[in-house]
């Protein structure tokens, strides 16, 4: 198309040089051709005043292209005051202008980066690790933290810190506490391998600074000698009261990468996560990335990708890659720890040894809030975490059990399957129109449904694990959407056809009412079609007032909370 429009000696490449004698019509036709090209994502039109160019007339010709669908158009009218009139015309038509092309190119880069960030953010994460695993052990974390706060000890011992990590499924090196030389020898013999002795102290965290680490110990004699050396060094450099014994651990000899994983408090954002290159040179490399909890698998991967060590973790120079999926899930579990254990102030896992065969925390430090801090003074999370209090169990009359819980980004594949179970009747009752299946299961639409901002909306899904296939399936969805600027919310419910008329819709609405009360809303409303007799009956049964809206041909259900 350009060959037919432009002189033979045009650039035949990108950028398209339409030559110095181009008038307004040639500019307009060239823009039209470029806009229709499926290989173009945006246009930058550059004009420099020459003998035959018309900056003002060309600007007039570009006005119809101001709102190209899906393709931004920018302009660089170079020439200072000579092109002021043309710039004014373009700006009035909502076409941004730039004094120089490089600034326009930078604007394109910002737009691309923004859209790429959104694509990454709304990428469907891999299924999360079971958030309920080790639930019983997590109660022990609260006991450990409460005891330390009660006695006024802000820093947990290494052994306590590793117990905290283990409760959240974060692998730690086997660690035992020895308070005597004989006990250290006995524990080392049980491990039956070269061992490491480290200072066990309730006050000292940087053990190497006081000679508190002895490596690669073999046999009882070496263990005794190491125990005495640590005890002597600590007494000399810090004082006898700082020595409470040693920890005995197996010597880890795997090739791998030392990583740091931690959390700290920011005055404005609250808890912040850190990931990067670890080990003794952590402050030298300063290779780190920050993120706000909670994380899912996608956010964990994006966090890792922002570090230089990530390239090495993928495998370099013939070395095998680290299990990145396992590392993702570890970061997700770590973020759960930070979110759930609010009395913990800081966590420092350094090093976290990552190798192709295993990922294990070799050392850890946990700092808790002091006894003077009240619960209402604890830092707030910048991002509201997954609302676990809204998880409940429910059974049908035939004892089929379901879990009713807030929706998660990982639920997108389940939501696709759920929509495949809906009849046209159910779709019409829910959306007041017949939305095609392709529309309902598009990724762009389901991301808006599954990625809830829990401060604005909360969707509850009825999740059942099929006993025959062990796969999870969604049987129904109830959504509560807060109305901006008003202390109320709208609700909507849809249940899979094969599970209707069995009480699930009623249970979902009961739970939405409880959620609305917990969110301190004053009113709950919904629009219901007159032919949806089942929903009208449920609303009336649960105390909603029904008002007929003749103009809309609908009923309004309202409950004052």
What is the rounded CA–CA span in Å between residue 137 and residue 193?
A: 28
Contact 237, 196 (CB under 8 A): no
Strand partners, 358: none
**On the CB side of 20, how many CA atoms lie within 13 Å of its CA?**
4
* Tens of pLDDT, residue by residue, the chain (561 residues): 888 899 888 988 889 999 888 899 999 999 999 999 988 999 999 998 887 889 999 999 999 999 888 899 999 999 888 899 999 999 999 999 999 999 999 999 999 888 887 777 677 676 655 555 555 667 889 999 999 999 999 999 999 999 999 999 999 999 999 999 999 999 999 998 899 999 999 888 888 889 999 999 999 999 999 999 999 999 999 999 999 999 999 998 767 899 999 999 999 999 999 999 998 888 888 999 999 999 988 899 999 999 999 999 998 888 899 999 999 999 999 999 999 999 999 999 999 999 998 999 999 999 999 989 999 999 999 988 889 899 999 999 999 999 999 999 999 999 999 999 999 999 999 999 999 999 999 998 998 899 888 999 999 999 999 999 999 999 999 999 999 889 999 999 999 999 999 999 999 999 999 999 999 999 999 999 999 999 999 999 999 999 999 988 999 999 999
Peptide bond into 151 cis (omega under 30): no
Contact 389, 518 (CB under 8 A): yes
Contact 334, 170 (CB under 8 A): yes
Task: Give helix 504-518 / helix 533-541 axis angle, nearest 10°.
Answer: 50
Map out the domains of the chain with their CATH numbers.
Answer: 2-121 (3.40.50.261), 127-172+262-383 (3.30.470.20), 174-251 (3.30.1490.20), 388-560 (3.40.630.30)
Give, in degrees to the nearest 5, the angle at Cα 329 between 328 and 333.
120
The token pair at 37 is: 């090209």
Contact 46, 108 (CB under 8 A): no
3-state secondary structure of 36: helix
Give the end-to-end CA distance of the chain in Å, rounded to a whole number. 65
Q: How far is CA 362 from the centre of its chain?
A: 26
Q: What is the pLDDT of residue 136?
A: 60
In this structure, how many other beta carbons lie within 10 angstroms of the beta carbon of residue 150?
9
Going by the DSSP 8-state scheme, the letter that residue 127 receives in this structure is: P
Q: What is the pLDDT of residue 287?
A: 94
The closest of 521, 442, 434, 426 to 475, measured between CA atoms, is 426
Q: What is the pLDDT of residue 282?
A: 86
Q: What is the pLDDT of residue 521?
A: 96
Q: What is the pLDDT of residue 116?
A: 80
Contact 557, 528 (CB under 8 A): yes
Q: What is the pLDDT of residue 137?
A: 66
DSSP structure string for 216-284: EE-SHHHHHHHHHHHHHHHHHHT-GGG---EEEEEPP----EEEEEEEEEETTTEEEEEEEE-STTHHH
């Amino acid at each position: 198309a350009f060959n037919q429009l432009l002189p033979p000696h045009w650039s035949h490449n990108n950028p398209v040089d339409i030559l110095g004698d181009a008038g307004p019509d040639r500019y307009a036709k060239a823009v039209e051709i470029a806009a229709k090209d499926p290989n173009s994502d945006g246009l930058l039109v550059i004009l420099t005043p020459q003998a035959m160019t018309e900056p003002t007339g060309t600007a007039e010709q570009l006005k119809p292209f101001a709102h190209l669908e899906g393709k931004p158009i920018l302009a660089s009218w170079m020439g200072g005051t000579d092109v002021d009139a043309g710039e004014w015309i373009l700006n009035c038509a909502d076409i941004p202008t730039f004094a120089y092309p490089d600034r326009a190119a930078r604007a394109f880069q910002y737009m691309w980066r923004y859209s790429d960030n959104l694509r990454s953010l709304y990428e469907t994460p891999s299924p999360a690790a079971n958030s309920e695993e080790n639930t019983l052990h997590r109660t022990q974390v609260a006991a450990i933290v409460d005891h330390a706060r009660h006695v006024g000890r802000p820093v947990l011992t290494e052994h306590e810190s590793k117990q905290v990590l283990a409760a959240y499924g974060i692998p730690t090196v086997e660690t035992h506490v020895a308070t005597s030389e004989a006990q250290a020898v006995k524990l080392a013999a049980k491990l039956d391998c070269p061992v490491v002795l480290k200072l066990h102290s309730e006050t000292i965290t940087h053990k190497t600074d006081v000679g508190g680490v002895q490596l690669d110990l073999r046999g009882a004699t070496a263990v005794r000698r190491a125990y005495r050396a640590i005890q002597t060094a600590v007494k000399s450099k810090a004082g006898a009261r700082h020595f409470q014994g040693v920890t005995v651990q197996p010597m880890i000899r795997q090739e791998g990468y030392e990583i740091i994983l931690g959390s700290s408090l920011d005055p404005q954002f609250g808890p912040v996560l850190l990931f990067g290159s670890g080990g003794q040179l952590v402050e030298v490399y300063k290779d780190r990335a920050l993120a706000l909890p909670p994380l899912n698998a996608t956010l964990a991967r994006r966090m890792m990708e922002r570090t230089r060590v990530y390239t090495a973790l993928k495998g370099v120079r013939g070395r095998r890659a680290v299990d990145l999926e396992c590392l993702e899930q570890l970061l997700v579990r770590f973020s759960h720890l930070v979110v759930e254990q609010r009395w913990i102030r800081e966590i420092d896992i350094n090093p976290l040894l990552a190798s192709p065969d295993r990922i294990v925390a070799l050392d850890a430090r946990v700092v808790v809030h002091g006894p003077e801090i009240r619960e209402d003074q604890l830092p707030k999370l910048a991002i509201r975490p997954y609302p676990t209090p809204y998880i409940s169990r429910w059974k049908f009359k035939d004892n089929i059990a379901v879990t009713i819980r807030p929706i998660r980004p990982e639920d997108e594949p389940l939501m696709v399957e759920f929509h495949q179970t809906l009849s046209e009747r159910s779709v019409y009752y829910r959306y007041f129109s017949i939305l095609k299946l392709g529309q309902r299961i598009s990724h762009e639409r389901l991301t808006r449904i599954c990625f809830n901002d829990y401060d604005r909306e909360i969707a509850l899904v009825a999740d059942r694990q099929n006993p025959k296939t062990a796969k999870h399936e969604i049987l129904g969805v109830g959504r509560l959407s807060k109305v901006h600027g008003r202390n109320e919310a709208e609700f909507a419910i849809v249940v899979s056809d094969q599970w209707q008329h069995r009480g699930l819709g009623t249970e979902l609405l009961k739970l939405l009412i409880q959620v609305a009360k917990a969110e301190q809303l004053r009113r709950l409303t919904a629009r219901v079609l007159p032919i949806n007799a089942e929903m009208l009956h449920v609303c009336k049964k649960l105390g909603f007032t029904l008002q007929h809206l003749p103009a809309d041909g609908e009923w309004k259900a309202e409950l004052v909370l």
